[in-house]
Chain A
Amino acid sequence: MRLPGHLPLFWTICLINGVVLVVAALLLLLSPARVSADAVPSEFVVIGAGLVVMILTNALLIRWALAPLHRLIARLEGIEHLEPTELPEEGSGPVLGIARSVNGLLARLAEERRTGDARALAAQEAERHRIAQELHDEVGQSLTVVLLGLKQVESQSPPALVPELAAVRESARAGLDDVRRVARRLRPGVLEDLGLASALAALATEFADHSSASVRRSFAPGLPALSPEAEVVVYRVAQEALTNAARHADARSVELSLQRLGAHVVLEVRDDGRGFTGLTEGSGLMGMRERAALVRAELSVISQPRHGTTVRLKVPVDTTTEASA
């Protein structure tokens, strides 16, 4: 049953009360029941019963009128933190109004969160970039100078000093290796220097170096260019998915692919590992989702126990950049 038209809640309740009172008054007038000047006990009973019926009817009707509001509250509580869904815009009067404004609010919040996240992640990437660059350009170069200088000194020093100098030189080399490793983890230089496919290929090699699983890669040739932000997102999602595969999945083989599907570039990381039930929104998956949302990409993770995990990222191709590329 629906309330007639778009009656405001106030008038709905007034109307209910009015109708109940009118019915009661009519009953009093038309039925044989009378209240004498000196009320007798039987009249008390009739009036009392009539009042109870009136109050109950009134309560039931108001409850019915307010029911959509309660349903709305229940739905509001059910809205998921991660992927807010829109409220169904149904009902009438105030309920419809609330649903509409809540939807508006959700959309605004999502948009604000997206821009906020985007700003935070962009700031983080920029900072990482800067640190990695400084490590390479400053610390790395200084250590290279030390390394080469020591080699030079070693060749001219008395034999007694040579073992000591060689040991110091090895320390400098280890330092240089560390700097390089840290810088690489902070920011994949290969992404900027050689592009996405090379960066993913390098990830695959790195994965193979540190895992017993074998990696197959297939990158479709001539993929449309993505924005630098989208490339970083694809890279980081692939990195995270491979890290998960290496750490938790116990996989024997992993497939890493990048191809075009209509107006999307699709990254897929598929392993044949353990898989898991019930998506635990661990920090890894959450991070992937957040990053995907930044470039309006869709992330799906399909996992079944003993049937491996597939992480899929669909990035929309920006047709404007494609045209200019």
Chain B
Amino acid sequence: MIRILLADDHTLVRRGVRLILEQEPDLSVVAEAADGAEAVERVRDTEVDLVVLDIAMPRMTGLQAAAEIAQRRNPPKILMLSMHDNEQYFFGALKAGASGYVLKSVADEDLVGACRAAMRGETFLYPGAESTLVRDYLDRMRRGERVPTSVLTAREDQVIKLIAEGRSSREIAKDLHIALKTVEGHRANILGKLGMRDRVELTRYAIRAGLIEP
């Protein structure tokens, strides 16, 4: 059973997220908070495995709360929930110590998967950030800059170009006449080969590529 702390300043959003999460038998929301400071307190007095934080909250933003929670000994996993489709927030979240970033506009589809990925110790990349990273990688390779060298298969090469164009897994599957699961597999492999597998690797890559300040 995964114990979750949910922080969002909007009661109704919190309720909506809770309902989505609790449809899953292995997820259970054990605490709620209405702002960042309260979230930090709840983590102190409640045992949780995963914290889902809204980015924009009064008193203390989700990013500040994440940074504080990540400082603890044995910190719970952290997922950010956000309105902002902007890779700077995503990198900000990674820097603060979060292991995933879910857009509210796709929370109905992605949130549960992101929770499980976080618990497995993987990073949940939101699609916009993924295409930004991949496009930047391809640009740098074209310019002849030194990038983590890797050998992609012909299929992965096709997929990485489609990701750079911002296509979703579903669209890629349709274009290439392959199963959705296969596309997901290719995506994971590609990111692994490019050295963008987890939080640490991703942050390092983004700093080196000048996408964010160190």
Taking Cβ atoms with an 8 Å cutoff, the residues of A that contact B are 136-137, 140-142, 144-145, 147-152, 155, 169, 173, 176-177, 180, 184, 189-190, 193-194, 197-199, 201-202, 205, 208-209, 214, 217-219, 221
Which listed residue (A136, A155, A217) contacts B83, Cβ 8 A? Answer: A136
Q: Is the interface of B mostly helix, strand, loop or mixed?
A: helix
Do B13 and A145 touch across chains, with their CB atoms under 8 A apart? Answer: yes
Query: Are the C-beta atoms of A144 and B104 separated by less than 8 Å?
Result: yes
Give Cα distance in the complex from A219 to B105, angstroms.
31
- A176 proximity list for chain B (CB < 8 A): 104-105
Q: B29 to nearest A CB, angstroms?
A: 13
Interface size class, chain B: 35 or more
Cα distance A11–B135 when bound, in Å?
79
Contact A144 B107 (CB under 8 A): yes
B118-151 CB mask vs A (1 if < 8 Å, else 0) is 0000000000000010010001000100000000
CA distance A214 to B140 in the complex (A): 10
Closest to B22 in A: A152
Cα–Cα distance between A319 and B126 once the two chains are bound (Å): 41
Are A141 and B10 closer than 8 Å at their CB atoms? yes
With A209-B166, A219-B213 in contact, is A189–B104 under 8 Å at CB? no
Would you give 24 A-B contacts (Cβ < 8 Å), ordered by A? Answer: A137-B10, A140-B104, A145-B12, A145-B15, A149-B19, A151-B20, A151-B108, A152-B23, A155-B23, A176-B105, A184-B84, A190-B84, A190-B89, A193-B55, A193-B61, A198-B88, A198-B92, A198-B213, A202-B88, A205-B132, A208-B135, A209-B166, A214-B139, A221-B214
B residues adjacent to A (C-beta < 8 A): 10, 12-13, 15-17, 19-20, 23, 55-56, 61, 63, 83-89, 92, 104-108, 132, 135, 139, 143, 166, 210-214
Instruction: Quote the shortest CB–CB distance from A217 to chain B (angstroms).
Output: 6
Apart from the given pairs A144-B104, A147-B108, A180-B105, 17 other A-B contacts in the complex at a CB distance below 8 Å: A144-B10, A144-B13, A144-B105, A145-B10, A145-B15, A147-B105, A148-B108, A149-B16, A150-B108, A151-B20, A152-B16, A152-B19, A169-B108, A173-B105, A189-B84, A193-B56, A214-B139
